[in-house]
Each structure stands twice: as structure tokens, then as C-alpha cells.
């Protein structure tokens, strides 16, 4: 008699020669029946074979949209081309462990989050784990103006944009270039100098405001000269009580500014175009980080934010003021440089181009500002050509100062940034 034995969750079952189903509900012991020798050999082989472990389900790719906060991360996951899953909330430490688990579930794991006050530490950590992470430019994800903004919605929109970006739509969001740690630290040092400069200006304006309120008029660097608001004898006036603390703070900031400016300018080469000082050079170098990152002049102009706005349709074309869609520190440094080039570089090609308007006394102040912006934008492109060894400064009509060797070639090395030195004539440009 032959009986075929199969495994069932409830026990061992089989079919007898008549075709009736037999089940053993009480015991898992295997029934012993008489079988032909060849069938017995096959059954023994099947019983002795090890059971294959159930491997986790493998996906092609997993995409994660992260809304990053100080104490928690809101994450939305999308598997392959399916709809986004409900949002999840993690502590920073637990999220890193959970993200590491996702690498075992898919061939590739993508993630993205918006650039913000937390720097690039999370990006570097995710990259070390093996994720493909993008730091994207912050934006308003409420495209339809529903006036509803939550962390869950932001994370969902991030993962949907990431899905389009991975599929090949490079306009789904704008990816922020992540600098190296050395470039980031050099840039932070220069930006700290700018913060100190702004704080000094704020305190100086506060002192002038106090003086005006009490009937005095302070001009220039009032904290340096012999104060007229100090009484040689007698009790202090209210104005003296207000201005003395500000004076001490401004003098302390001044000393720190002088030290930081000296340290920043020490890294600049001696051979620079006339009108481009060491501080301006360091500002551009540390903000741009790597001039080789740009592939063409359009990318350079776009990075400065000095391109005109445009509203064109059919045969109509309108170009307005600059869009300011770029790095504001680079833009200020370029405008200041443009005014100096107008004074000290008359043979520079863009200056020669606009010389007729600049020398015309009827040219309005607004027009002169527009010309300075145009020269600054062109100088950014020319300086990119110089720094990437596409041409020499003298080929552009720039007169150099100093006798040191030529500027070192830029090839992704550590960059240096410095802060701008505010000029009253260009602050409004």
C-alpha cells in the first residue's frame, strides 16, 4: 500500500489508495506506511534537507523624506513606486539605527532633508551608513495655497519630490552643495566676522538713537573720539549711563574684528587685481569654496543672484531688477568690487563698455547702480575664468598689484571665505 504524506499546519495528512483524505489532528508523529523502495529514498532525502530560512523581502529602492528638528525627526517612507506610507516620528539616535535597517531591505536607500541650522552632520552620518542623501534648498511646500503646514505634510512633500528627482526630474528640488569639513569651518570663521560687524553697527546705531532722544547728535565713530556727553565732574547724566556700556562693548568688538580681519587676510596672495583687496578675495574664496563646481558662466551668474527678473510671453519680453536668488554675501562683495573697479581699473573690459554712461553727468544714480551690478556680475564670470585657469587676469584688462607668483589653481582644495566690509555707497545696491 502506498500513502503520500504532506505537511499541514494542523498535523500530518495524506491520501489513501482510494483517494480519501486522512488527517491526524492529535499528534504530529509521522505515520509509517509501506512504500516502494524508490519512494522511501525520496522521502528520506526530503526529510534530511535543511529548511531554508525565510529571507526578508527585498525591494528595489526605498525613499525617505525627513523633516528634521532638534529633538525628533518626522520621516515618511516610500517603497519603490508605491504611495508614501504614514509619517513616523523618531528620536535622532533611534532614527539612525532605523535608517541602517532600511539598507537590508532594499538595493538603494535615498533620503533628503532641507538645509537649516543643523548643518551637514546628519548628511555625513547618513552617507557613511551607505544611504544616498540630498540636502535640498528650503521652500514652501504648500503649492496650492491651502494654508496648512505641518511636519507630516512637509515630510510627505519631500519624499514625493525625492521620488521625482530619483526618476530623473532634476527640477523636482534644488540640491545644496555640501562643502567639506575644512571648507565649512573656514566659511564659518569668516561669517562670524560678519556677525560681529553687524553687531557693532547695531550697537553704534543704538548709541546714536539714545543721543538723539536726549537732544545730542553723534556722528561717525562716536565711541572712539573724546566723548562730549561725559561730564568731567558731578553725577552721571542719563545719556552717559546709556552710552558708556555701549562704548565698552563696541571697543571690545572692534579689537576682535581687527584680529579676525588680520587672520583672514593673511591667507590671500599678494598678486591681486587693483581694487580687489585681500578681504574681498577671501570672501569670494570661502563662500564659493570651489570655483571648479561651475561648468559654465550661466551657473556662475545664477549663483550670485545678479541675473535680471523676467516676465516674457509670446512677443512680449520684460526684464526687471535682479532676482537676488543666490548667495547674498558674494553679491555684496561683487558690488563693492565693481565700484572699486570703476575707479581703479579703467582698462577693464566691462568698465570700458559702460564708460560713456559713467562719464556722462546726466546719468542718474539709479542707472549707475545698475551699471555697477552689471560690472559685478561680469567680474564674477571673469574671476571664475581666472581661478579655473581658463585665462589670465591681464587678458581681461585687469591690472595686477604686487610681484608674487600667479594665483594658485583651484581644484577642489579647501577654500577660504572672508566677510564683506560694508560700504555705505553699496549697501543699498
Of all residues in the chain, the percent with pLDDT exceeding 70 is 79
Condensed to tens digits (0 to 9), the pLDDT of residues 198-245 reads 999 999 999 999 999 999 899 889 998 877 777 766 678 899 999 999
Q: What angle do CA 209, 213, 218 make, to 5 degrees?
A: 50
Checking if the pLDDT of 401 tops 90, the result is no
Write out the DSSP string of 238-306.
Answer: HHHHHHHHHHHHHHHHHHHHHHHHHHHHTTS-S-EETT--HHHHHHHHHHHS-GGG--SHHHHHHHHT-
Task: Output the CA–CA distances (angstroms, integers) from residue 262 to 36, 268, 295, 404, in the order listed.
Answer: 97, 11, 33, 19
Domain segments of the chain as ranges = 4-48, 59-166, 181-265, 272-312+322-401
Segment 351-357 shows an average pLDDT of: 95
DSSP state of 175: B
Q: For 280-328, what is each residue's pLDDT tens digit?
A: 999 999 999 999 999 999 999 999 999 999 999 999 999 999 999 999 9
- What is the Cα–Cα distance from 377 to 305, expressed in whole angstroms? 9
Tell me the per-residue pLDDT of 242-271, one tens digit each, with 9 for 90 and over: 999 999 999 999 999 999 999 999 999 989
Give the residue from 410, 415, 398 showing the smallest Cα distance to 185.
415
pLDDT (0 to 100) of residue 190 = 95
pTM, two decimal places: 0.77
pLDDT level of residue 4 (50, 70, 90 thresholds): very low
pLDDT band at 57 (very low <50, low <70, confident <90, very high): low
Q: Identify the architecture of domain 59-166 in CATH.
A: 2-Layer Sandwich (3.30)
| Backbone torsions φ then ψ of 115, nearest 5 degrees | -65, 145
Q: Name the pLDDT band for 273 (thresholds 50, 70, 90).
A: very high
For 165-206, the pLDDT digits (tens) are 999 999 999 999 999 999 999 999 999 999 999 999 999 999
Find the length of the chain: 429
Mean pLDDT of the chain: 84
**Per-residue pLDDT tens over the stretch 58-113:** 899 999 999 999 999 999 999 999 999 999 999 999 999 999 999 999 999 999 99
Enumerate the H helices of 68-169 as residue ranges: 92-102, 121-129, 151-166
- Joined grid coordinates for residue 408: 594658485
Measured CA to CA, the distance from residue 9 to residue 95 in angstroms comes to 38
pLDDT tens by residue, 329-341: 999 999 999 999 9
Amino acid at each position: 500500500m502506498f500513502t503520500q504524506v504532506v505537511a499541514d499546519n494542523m498535523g500530518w495528512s495524506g491520501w489513501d489508495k482510494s483517494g480519501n483524505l486522512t488527517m491526524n489532528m492529535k499528534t504530529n508523529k509521522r505515520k509509517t506506511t509501506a512504500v516502494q523502495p524508490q519512494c522511501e529514498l525520496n522521502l528520506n532525502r526530503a526529510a534530511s534537507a535543511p529548511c531554508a530560512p525565510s529571507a526578508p523581502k527585498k525591494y528595489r529602492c526605498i525613499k525617505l523624506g525627513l523633516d528634521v528638528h532638534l529633538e525628533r525627526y518626522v520621516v515618511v517612507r516610500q517603497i519603490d513606486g508605491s504611495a508614501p506610507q504614514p509619517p513616523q516620528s523618531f528620536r535622532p539616535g533611534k532614527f539612525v539605527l532605523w535608517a541602517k535597517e532600511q539598507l537590508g531591505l532594499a538595493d538603494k536607500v535615498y533620503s533628503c532633508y532641507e538645509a537649516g541650522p543643523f548643518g551637514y552632520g546628519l548628511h555625513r552620518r547618513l552617507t557613511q551608513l551607505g544611504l544616498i542623501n540630498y540636502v535640498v534648498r528650503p521652500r514652501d511646500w504648500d503649492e496650492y495655497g491651502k494654508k496648512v503646514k505641518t511636519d507630516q505634510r512637509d515630510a510627505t512633500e519631500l519624499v514625493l519630490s525625492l521620488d521625482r528627482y530619483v526618476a530623473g526630474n532634476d527640477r523636482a528640488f534644488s540640491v545644496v552643495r555640501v562643502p567639506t569639513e575644512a571648507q565649512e569651518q573656514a566659511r564659518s570663521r569668516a561669517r562670524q566676522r560678519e556677525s560681529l560687524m553687524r553687531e557693532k553697527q547695531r550697537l553704534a546705531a543704538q548709541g546714536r538713537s539714545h543721543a538723539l532722544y536726549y537732544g545730542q547728535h553723534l556722528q561717525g565713530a562716536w565711541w572712539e573720539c573724546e566723548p562730549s556727553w561725559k561730564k568731567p565732574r558731578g553725577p552721571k547724566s542719563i545719556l552717559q549711563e546709556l552710552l558708556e556700556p555701549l562704548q565698552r562693548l563696541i571697543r571690545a568688538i572692534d579689537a576682535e574684528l581687527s584680529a579676525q580681519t588680520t587672520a583672514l587676510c593673511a591667507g590671500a596672495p599678494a598678486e591681486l587685481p587693483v581694487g580687489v583687496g585681500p578681504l574681498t578675495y577671501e570672501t569670494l574664496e570661502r563662500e564659493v569654496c570651489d570655483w571648479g563646481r561651475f561648468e559654465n558662466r550661466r551657473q556662475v551668474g545664477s549663483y550670485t543672484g545678479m541675473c535680471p527678473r523676467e516676465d516674457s510671453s509670446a512677443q512680449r519680453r520684460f526684464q526687471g531688477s535682479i532676482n537676488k536668488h543666490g548667495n547674498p554675501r558674494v553679491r555684496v562683495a561683487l558690488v563693492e568690487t565693481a565700484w572699486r573697479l570703476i575707479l581703479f581699473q579703467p582698462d577693464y573690459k566691462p568698465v570700458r563698455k559702460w564708460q560713456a554712461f559713467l562719464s556722462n553727468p546726466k546719468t542718474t544714480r539709479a542707472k549707475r547702480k545698475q551699471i555697477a551690478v552689471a560690472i559685478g556680475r561680469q567680474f564674477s564670470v571673469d574671476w571664475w575664468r581666472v581661478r579655473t585657469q581658463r585665462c589670465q587676469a591681464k587678458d581681461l584688462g585687469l591690472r595686477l598689484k604686487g610681484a608674487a607668483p600667479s594665483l594658485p589653481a583651484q581644484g577642489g582644495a579647501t577654500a577660504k571665505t572672508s566677510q564683506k566690509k560694508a560700504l555705505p555707497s553699496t549697501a543699498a545696491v
